[in-house]
Structure 1
Amino acid sequence: MKKRTSRTNAVSIIHRRYVKSSQKRLLELEEERLNAKVAREIHRLRQEHQLTQAQLAKRVGTTPSVISRLEDADYQGHSLSMLRRIASSLDQQVEIRFIPVKHKLQAA
């Protein structure tokens, strides 16, 4: 009996078994990736401007706990209005783009 020497990444196995075959799960995964990307970008900009969450909150006119939630990859309540307020306070602007998807996603 021959031993298998190749290994497959665990994430690849999970994706193949549980996500790839389900349009609903693909949509959920894309939404989670977008939430994480927004959170990372807010955190990056805040760090780039050498601000604490409290300092950014003061600039935006909110509380530090709101900034903390916005920087949490699991947070799903990002509003365009709040993103604009954050961007403006950091001399930035929000840009929204629509780009083609690599694979067709359909709501289940």
Structure 2
Amino acid sequence: MADLKYKPVPHNHAEFLAAARQRPGFNEAYDSLELEYTVASQMLKARAKAGLTQDAVAERMGTTKSAISRLEGAGRHAPSLATLKKYAAAVGCDLQVKFVPQKVA
């Protein structure tokens, strides 16, 4: 059986983002994927809070670690609502989706 103990990798997102924003075209590309990055961030936080590895989530969902890695990778994969619900259940969460009125410019 896979080692299911959670071992977080240190990462300073603010430093990474500050350095990346210096690259030409990065800001436009990053901003266009804001929703995807927000969802991926929430998924990672939920998994960390549950103390689970990608292997453990994959086992609970009946899939593979590589599938979970793709699912958590913002912008590379557009998961269905059914998949997001399964992921949420695997990490002990409920999935909520809501429509927010756009701000009038």
Letter in 2 for 1:82: T
Distance 1:95 1:45 in 2: 13
Contact kept in structure 2, 1:60 and 1:85, CA below 8 Å:
yes
**Corresponding residue of 1:72:** 73
Find runs of 4+ consecutive structure 1 residues off by over 4 angstroms. Answer: none
Distance of 2:103 and 2:77 partners within structure 1: 23
> How is 1:31-46 mapped onto 2 (pairs within 5 angstroms)?
32-46=33-47
List aligned pairs for 1:43-62, cutoff 5 A.
Answer: 43-62=44-63
Structure 1: 5+ residue stretches without partners: 1-10, 20-24
2:88 is the counterpart of 1:92: no
1:39 Cα deviation after fit: 0.8
Cα distance, 1:78 vs structure 2: 1.4
TM-score normalised by length of structure 2: 0.65
Cα distance in 1 for partners of 2:60, 2:104 equals 40
Cα separation, 1, equivalents of 2:73 and 2:98: 22
Across the aligned residues of Structure 1 and Structure 2, the Cα RMSD in angstroms comes to 2.6
Q: TM-score by structure 1 length?
A: 0.63
Deviations 1:67-103 (A, max 9, x none): 1111112223211000000111223211111101125
Query: How many residues align structurally?
Result: 81
User: Based on CA coordinates, which of the two structures has the bigger radius of gyration?
Assistant: 1
State, as a whole percentage, how many aligned pairs show the same letter: 32
Alignment of 1:16-27 (within 5 A): none
Q: Supply the distance in 1 between the matched residues of 2:85 and 2:77 (Cα, whole angstroms).
A: 16
Q: For residue 62 of structure 1, what is the amino acid of its counterpart?
A: T
